[in-house]
Amino acid sequence: MLEKPQLSETALVQCINSTYGLKVRDLSFLPLGADAHTAVYRVVAADETPYFLKLRRMHFVPASVLIPTYLHDVGMRQVIPAIRTQTGSMWAQFELFTVVLYPYVAGLHSIDRPLSDEQWRTFGSTLKTLHTVQFPSTITADLPQEQFAPHWRERLAWFLAQAESLSTADSVAAELVALLKTKAAELHAIITRTAALAQHLQQQPPPFVLCHADCHGWNLLVVDGDRFFLVDWDTLLFAPKERDLMFIGAGLFGNAHSSAAEAALFYQGYGSAPVDQAALSYYRYERIIEDIAVYCAEILDSATGAADRRQALVYLQSNFLPGSTIALARQGDDQTLGMNTG
């Protein structure tokens, strides 16, 4: 969220104090992130210890806290484990929000502080560990399985249809409608191509592993030349490994390295692994479709804050820039066009 949620901060401080046994001296809202359902705060205790507080409204997945904590416990240092409550729980409830408290780590996402060559290799080995470690079934049992479902394709097609007749006086919504009309043919072509790839993968699915499913540059917190952390585990999913690998070289880590250089360094850490090109193309297209559909919903929802709606439009528009996500997805898809993908 970029705007404060409507809640009593006094009551929130009381919740933190009683739940975690702290004496909060300061609570500061942080206008961060593209998720309109998540608010984050910096908490400073009376002893000057800083903490990072995450409030998740709806769609809380317990594994999003349990999995990174388990990985930390087995030796992965690129994750930040949650702090337990006084009763031993790893989260608490406050009004409509699930509350999770973490140590505060001062850093920048890798768009603003690019990974070094060695950190790219470490990022590769980090994802390899995630894809190969055996997790207790008790913490993964409720996680979804990839279905290659048409939900987001249908959702975007609906927004495209709505744009044809929608009239609005709201400036942000009007910009969105104009963009959708201009890009309609291009987006329909992407939807059609993605549907063909989905059908191919449903018939010949690659092996499934546990995926972070959102491991782009905004979810890598870089502290310095040695340390970085993979954060935001709300989208965990059992899927082909390409669900995570599709981010590498897809224009989602800034411009410090070329797409080819990103991939070369990453796979030095990840190791040699056959990549299913159809799955890679599917996920790059599907992510673009999902992002655009989500941004459309946020922009057209009057309950979304003005700053969040404007930022959503900026993010949506960026997909169409030269050398950005759509261009790179098409470039990678050239390798699959000769396949029999339906």
**pLDDT (tens digit, 9 = 90+) per residue, 196-242?**
999 999 999 999 999 999 999 999 999 998 999 999 999 999 999 99
Q: Give the angle subtended at the CA of 179 by the CAs of 217 and 326, to the nearest 5°.
A: 40
| Exposed/middle/buried for residue 313 (C-beta within 10 Å: 0-12, 13-18, 19+) | buried
> Does 4 reside within a domain?
no
CATH code at position 188: 1.10.510.10
For residue 133, what are the domain limits?
Answer: 117-333
Q: Is the pLDDT of residue 342 over 70?
A: no
CATH code at position 43: 3.30.200.20
- Is residue 168 domain-shared with residue 247, that is, in the same domain? yes
Q: Is the pLDDT of residue 104 over 90?
A: yes
- Is residue 54 domain-shared with residue 138, that is, in the same domain? no
pTM of the model: 0.89
Across all residues in the chain, what is the average pLDDT?
Answer: 93
> Does 179 reside within a domain?
yes
Q: Is the pLDDT of residue 177 over 60?
A: yes
Percent of the residues in the chain that have a pLDDT greater than 70, as a whole number? 96
Query: What is the model's pLDDT at position 34?
Result: 63
Domain boundary residue among 69, 104, 139? 104
Beta carbons within 8 Å of 21's beta carbon, 6+ residues apart: 86
Query: What is the model's pLDDT at position 1?
Result: 52
Percent of the residues in the chain that have a pLDDT greater than 90, as a whole number? 80
**pLDDT (tens digit, 9 = 90+) per residue, 243-263?**
999 999 888 898 889 989 999
**How many Å apart are CA 111 and CA 115, to the nearest integer?**
9
Whether 15 and 94 have beta carbons less than 8 Å apart is answered as yes
Query: What is the model's pLDDT at position 2?
Result: 63
- Is residue 131 domain-shared with residue 275, that is, in the same domain? yes
Q: Which strand (E) or helix (H) includes residue 332? A: helix 325-333
- Is residue 226 domain-shared with residue 316, that is, in the same domain? yes
Higher pLDDT, 67 or 33: 67
